[in-house]
Every structure is written in structure tokens, then in C-alpha cells.
Amino acid sequence: MKEIKRVDQKQKNRIRPTGEEIRKAKKFLQNKKMPLNLFKPRLFASASKEINENYNGTLNNLLKVYKATNKVYRRKYYGNNTASTSDNTRNKEV
């Protein structure tokens, strides 16, 4: 049981970002004008460390996931830009 705990602790230490990495991630997100409530600097730094990518690659990967799950972005990807019925009736009246 102690062996498993040691391995888990080592894995946590590999993923856990240092203070310097968190500050760099925060500065990177601010330079990209990303809202900090969307991607928290600590989680962003740990995600970057876990997938072994630089911050730019991590941001691109996270934005792909965010855009795929966000309804506003999903409409753009699936081509659901057709006019609504209210637009059609308004055009007929004119």
C-alpha cells in the first residue's frame, strides 16, 4: 500500500506546476487576452506540463475542446447559419 502511495505522489509532483510556471502561464494568457476565469493559470500550467506541450500548443488544444463543446462555436462549425423563420416572414412583408 505504501508503494502505491509513493508512486501516486511522484506522479502528482510531476504534474504540479511550480510558482514560476504559474506566473508564466498567467502572463501568457494575459498577453493572448484570454479571460483568466476561462482558463485558470494553475490548471493551464498543469495541463501543459501533463501533455508535454508548450503554452501555445496547449492553448490551441484547449480552444479546440472549448469550441467543440460551446454552442455558439458549434453553430459556426456545423454550418447552422440559416435564417430563422422570423427573418423569412419579415422579408415577405416588405
Tens-binned pLDDT, residue by residue, of the chain (94 aa)? 555 556 566 666 677 899 999 999 999 999 998 888 888 999 999 999 998 999 999 999 988 888 778 776 555 555 545 555 555 555 555 5
Residue 86 counted as domain residue: no
The C-alpha cell 500548443 sits at: 57
Residue 94 counted as domain residue: no
What is the domain range of residue 14?
2-80
pTM of the model: 0.61
Residue 34 counted as domain residue: yes
Residue 30 counted as domain residue: yes
Which residues lie closer than 8 Å to 51 by C-beta, 6 or more apart? 58, 61
